[in-house]
Amino acid sequence: MRIIVHGGAGSGASLGGPTPERQAVLDAAASDGAAEATPLQAVVTAIRRLEADERFNAGRGGAVQSDGVVRVDAGLMTSDRTVGAVANVPGVEAAVDAARVVAAETPHVCVAGEHAAELAADFGVETGFDLTTERTRERFADADPPTGSPKAHLDWLRERFGRGGEHDHDTVGAVAGVEPRSTGSRSTAGGGRFAAATSTAGRWFALAGRVGDVPQVGAGFFCTPAGGASATGAGEDIARVTLARRAVDHLADGAAADRAAALAIDEFEELTGSTAGVIVCGPDGVGAARNSESMQVAVAERYRGSRNCP
């Protein structure tokens, strides 16, 4: 099992940029994921650790929308093209678990809002969380939040949305893969040879109800038999160019993982002039690229059985 994890492409300005504490959590998440039996279990386990840590913009401690509510998005996909996503969900810390419910239990690709929370609860995912923290409540209050209709909210956020600051791009994601083996082996068991997943609470000072790239297939996450990718950054621009799909397409064309990531980011920057990062797992290994100020990543591997020991 091989896994790469990211903690978001941004500055983390109020936390002093990339920190050893955040890196330690990412390292632990990657290690936890590498211990799992399948790529899908690996990415879900890794992301759950990040969603539970308020140092990251996913789950508790995430970005607050213009009405004062934290709403989460997540998506996952395996190389057999199993997909599940949730969008704009209140009160759920484990957004990736909710996305897995959609993939495993419904005929749908994405379920949104309170209905997604109710669905997740029916299948054992905890709901009803207050996803704000003292830090995020203070930041929102200091911004003189709006009242009134969506138009009034738009007037308020016009000079605020996407203008930088703590966690403004700090989505989390993971991509994992297993080495190929003979027919009937674990390489195709439990959802494919590769899996990718991404989770977020969106971006600060977004309109209530806003959904970014994360739960959109091909934008925030994508996976095929060629490999998988997870993207992070300016969500609207990522969605416009389907960044994660671009990285996987480069894998399918024969690029190594690090080259596939770099090519996708170069294309993204040329088309949008915006900032993002992407992590990739392919047959040759893992790779990452960004044009943002920072993107902390962690990589872990786990060998199973004597035939795979180095």
Residue ranges of the annotated binding site are 210-213, 232-235
Instruction: Reply yes or no on whether 127 is catalytic.
Output: no
The tokens of 74 are what? 């997540």
| 3-state secondary structure string across 100-141 | HHHHHHCCCCEEEHHHHHHHHHHCCCCCCCCCCCHHHHHHHH
Please, where are the H alpha helices in the chain? 20-34, 39-51, 95-105, 113-122, 134-142, 150-157, 235-241, 243-252, 257-272
Cβ burial, residue 33 (10 Å; 0-12/13-18/19+): buried
Report helix, strand or coil for 25.
helix
- The whole-angstrom distance between residue 36's C-alpha and the CA centroid of its chain comes to 19
Q: Which residues contact 185 (CB under 8 A, 6 or more apart)?
A: none
For residues 63 and 55, give the distance between their C-alpha atoms in angstroms, rounded to a whole number: 11
Q: Which of 223, 289, 272, 215 is nearest to 251 (CA)?
A: 223
Report phi then psi at 274, rounded to 5.
Answer: -105, -175
Is 286 strand, coil or helix? strand
Distance separating alpha carbons of residues 235 and 211, to the nearest angstrom:
9
Of the candidates 132, 136, 171, 242, the residue annotated as catalytic is 171
Q: Which residues are annotated as a binding site for substrate?
A: 210-213, 232-235
Residues forming the active site: 171
